[in-house]
């Protein structure tokens, strides 16, 4: 069996991955807060962990991997939208409007991530469905002396776990207090203590609890849901490296204190962040855009995926238009090479080996480039392991439905009559229209050829004549 090597943030080393049970390899990834469309940076962990999910399924069998990714649907921004809608005259209780907003954004999210070729995880729990489990875990943490109630809040007592807290991100509690922007509140015993439960006003969604009507803090949801769905010990926990502290430290503290005999997550994987044209993506820089924006602009989801895969997940990735154009040209070429061909029975060993080396997706793409030189069946099998060249994702590159030879004949005829009449206006008009549709126009004495180039859009050929 293939040995997968993964860089474990917890041990700071690349290790052979050995699952707790090869019959059920378990992975948890922190999912989105569903208050709006996912921006391009949100998509990076989705693609990274989708590749890992596909690799695990390839090695252990698709029935032997359980992938859980949550939806955070308890959030002040979701609530703010729901409240604004209610004040604007929308019908329904606040809870219903909150749910409506979450349903809407979850629908967008699944559509946009699907366009990037991401498989849906086996389980996609929503925080609001696990409130009872969170309350039970918080009660247990209080009973074990790791948490305390104060003024309607429940806080995790960091001092009760002081020697371990910060181990993942490599900080001590004292360093964190010195360096962090911690919320100082009179009811906290230690400024680093974090919220497990907080009170809700009437204008906020809330649930009854032993500490009054309130709602859970963010961190506790992942501990409660991963325990319910994967148990007290599981194999892989993933997320963006912006989640390492405090979110993942807090998840570890909660889970290890609630289930001291469990290991929680054995291997921690963190992806680096995404930039745009060399700059941090931000609304103030005007380079902020969503996956939906790109899809609307006609950038195919497959192209976005390809660009992502060119950079190793532990390196910052730079989204550029140039990369997107080059990716599109490569994919168009590969799709033409593999049209009508059956994929090889299994992915080429070199592709699997690259992926198994801590998800070296750039190395796997380099292998695909080699296979494109003469082995289309292996190219297709390898690309499909990476989630590329699937049938579902190919509509953008589909030129089979367009009869380009008819257009070439038309241009050829126009040229022939222009030779007689010396009026080349129709030839120029057709050439301009074909170029605008993304076709390369090759005219020689032997004839006319139209070749789909970067950005080819068959729809633009409608009405040319």
| Nearer to Zn ion (CB atom), residue 30 or residue 83 | 30
Interface residue with Zn ion among 4, 6, 29, 30 (CB under 5 A) is: 30
| Nearer to Zn ion (CB atom), residue 217 or residue 382 | 217
Measured distance CA(152)–CA(397) in Å, rounded: 57
Interior angle at CA 95, CA 89 and CA 99, nearest 5:
95
| CB atoms near residue 356 (< 10 Å) | 21
| Nearer to Zn ion (CB atom), residue 60 or residue 264 | 264
Q: To the nearest whole angstrom, how small is the minimum distance from the Cβ of residue 251 to Zn ion?
A: 6
| Nearer to Zn ion (CB atom), residue 228 or residue 449 | 228
User: Would you state the structure tokens that stand for residue 200, as one six-digit string?
Assistant: 């809700």
| Nearer to Zn ion (CB atom), residue 115 or residue 222 | 222
Q: Which of 60, 43, 112, 372 is nearest to 235 (CA)?
A: 60
Query: How many residues bind to Zn ion according to rule CB under 5 A?
Result: 2
| Nearer to Zn ion (CB atom), residue 247 or residue 280 | 247
Interior angle at CA 41, CA 204 and CA 128, nearest 5:
30
DSSP assigned state of 7: E
Interior angle at CA 215, CA 212 and CA 219, nearest 5:
130
User: Would you state the structure tokens that stand for residue 325, as one six-digit string?
Assistant: 């154009």
Q: To the nearest whole angstrom, how small is the minimum distance from the Cβ of residue 438 to Zn ion?
A: 42
Q: To the nearest whole angstrom, how small is the minimum distance from the Cβ of residue 228 to Zn ion?
A: 14
Stretch that binds Zn ion, among 27-35, 94-102, 160-168, 383-391 (CB under 5 A): 27-35
**Is residue 253 close enough to count as binding Zn ion by CB under 5 A?**
no
CB 287 within 8 A of CB 277: yes
Q: To the nearest whole angstrom, how small is the minimum distance from the Cβ of residue 285 to Zn ion?
A: 28
Q: To the nearest whole angstrom, how small is the minimum distance from the Cβ of residue 128 to Zn ion?
A: 15
User: Would you state the structure tokens that stand for residue 8, as one six-digit string?
Assistant: 């474990």
Q: How many CA atoms lie within 13 A of 114 on its CB side?
A: 8
Residue written as token pair 């204190």: 257
Measured distance CA(86)–CA(326) in Å, rounded: 47
Q: How far is CA 259 from CA 11, 200, 230, 434, in A?
A: 21, 28, 13, 65
Strands 274-276 and 194-199, how do they pair? unpaired
| Nearer to Zn ion (CB atom), residue 243 or residue 458 | 243
Name residues contacting Zn ion, limited to 144-163 (CB under 5 A): none
Q: How many CA atoms lie within 13 A of 206 on its CB side?
A: 17
Q: To the nearest whole angstrom, how small is the minimum distance from the Cβ of residue 60 to Zn ion?
A: 24
Q: To the nearest whole angstrom, how small is the minimum distance from the Cβ of residue 222 to Zn ion?
A: 3
| Nearer to Zn ion (CB atom), residue 257 or residue 371 | 257
| Nearer to Zn ion (CB atom), residue 252 or residue 364 | 252
Q: To the nearest whole angstrom, how small is the minimum distance from the Cβ of residue 247 to Zn ion?
A: 5
* CB-based contacts of 255-258 (< 8 A; 24+ apart in sequence): 255/223, 255/226, 255/227, 256/161, 256/164, 257/141, 257/144, 257/146, 257/160, 257/161, 258/137, 258/140, 258/141, 258/144, 258/146, 258/223, 258/227
Q: To the nearest whole angstrom, how small is the minimum distance from the Cβ of residue 337 to Zn ion?
A: 41
With H, G, I as helix, E, B as strand and everything else as coil, classify residue 89.
coil
Binding mask 190-229 for Zn ion (x = CB under 5 A): --------------------------------x-------
Measured distance CA(316)–CA(326) in Å, rounded: 19
Stretch that binds Zn ion, among 22-30, 91-99, 266-274, 434-442 (CB under 5 A): 22-30
User: Would you state the structure tokens that stand for residue 25, as one six-digit string?
Assistant: 């390899």
| Nearer to Zn ion (CB atom), residue 255 or residue 361 | 255
| Nearer to Zn ion (CB atom), residue 249 or residue 367 | 249
| Nearer to Zn ion (CB atom), residue 222 or residue 364 | 222
| CB atoms near residue 185 (< 10 Å) | 13
User: Would you state the structure tokens that stand for residue 158, as one six-digit string?
Assistant: 């960091």
Q: To the nearest whole angstrom, how small is the minimum distance from the Cβ of residue 239 to Zn ion?
A: 6
Stretch that binds Zn ion, among 7-15, 28-36, 125-133, 175-183 (CB under 5 A): 28-36
DSSP assigned state of 196: E
Interacting residues with Zn ion (CB under 5 A): 30, 222
């Amino acid at each position: 069996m293939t040995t997968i090597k993964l860089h474990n943030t917890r041990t700071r080393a690349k290790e052979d991955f050995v699952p707790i049970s090869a019959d059920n390899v378990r992975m948890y990834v922190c999912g989105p807060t569903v208050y709006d469309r996912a921006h391009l940076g949100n998509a990076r962990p989705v693609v990274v962990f989708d590749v890992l999910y596909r690799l695990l399924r390839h090695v252990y069998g698709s029935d032997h991997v359980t992938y859980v990714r949550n939806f955070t649907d308890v959030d002040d921004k979701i609530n703010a939208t729901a409240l604004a809608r209610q004040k604007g005259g929308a019908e329904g209780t606040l809870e219903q409007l909150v749910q409506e907003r979450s349903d809407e954004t979850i629908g967008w999210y699944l559509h946009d991530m699907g366009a990037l070729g991401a498989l849906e995880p086996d389980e996609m729990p929503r925080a609001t469905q696990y409130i009872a489990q969170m309350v039970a875990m918080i009660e247990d943490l209080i009973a074990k002396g790791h948490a305390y109630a104060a003024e309607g809040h429940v806080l995790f007592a960091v001092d009760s776990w002081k020697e371990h807290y910060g181990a993942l991100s490599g900080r001590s509690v004292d360093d964190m207090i010195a360096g962090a922007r911690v919320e100082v509140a009179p009811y906290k015993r230690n400024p680093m203590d974090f919220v497990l439960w907080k009170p809700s006003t009437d204008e906020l969604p809330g649930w009854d609890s032993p500490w009054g009507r309130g709602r859970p803090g963010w961190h506790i949801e992942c501990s409660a849901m991963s325990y319910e769905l994967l148990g007290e010990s599981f194999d892989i926990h993933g997320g963006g490296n912006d989640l390492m502290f405090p979110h993942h430290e807090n998840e570890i503290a909660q889970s290890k204190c609630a289930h001291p005999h469990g290991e929680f997550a054995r291997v921690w994987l963190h992806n680096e962040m995404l930039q745009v044209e060399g700059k941090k993506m931000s609304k103030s820089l005007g380079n902020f855009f969503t996956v939906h924006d790109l899809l609307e602009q006609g950038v195919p989801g497959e192209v976005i995926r390809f660009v992502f895969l060119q950079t190793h997940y532990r390196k910052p990735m730079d989204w550029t238009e140039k990369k997107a154009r080059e990716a599109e040209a490569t994919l168009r070429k590969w799709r033409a090479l593999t049209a009508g061909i059956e994929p090889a029975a299994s992915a080429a060993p070199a592709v699997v080996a690259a992926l198994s080396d801590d998800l070296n997706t750039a190395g796997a793409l380099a292998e695909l480039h080699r296979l494109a030189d003469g082995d289309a069946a292996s190219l297709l099998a390898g690309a499909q392991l990476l989630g590329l060249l699937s049938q579902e994702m190919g509509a953008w590159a589909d030129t089979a439905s367009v009869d380009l030879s008819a257009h070439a004949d038309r241009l050829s005829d126009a040229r022939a009559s222009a030779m007689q009449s010396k009026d080349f206006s129709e030839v120029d008009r057709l050439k301009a229209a074909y170029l605008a549709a993304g076709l390369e126009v090759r005219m020689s004495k032997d004839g006319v050829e139209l070749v789909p180039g970067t950005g080819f859009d068959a729809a633009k050929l409608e009405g040319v004549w």
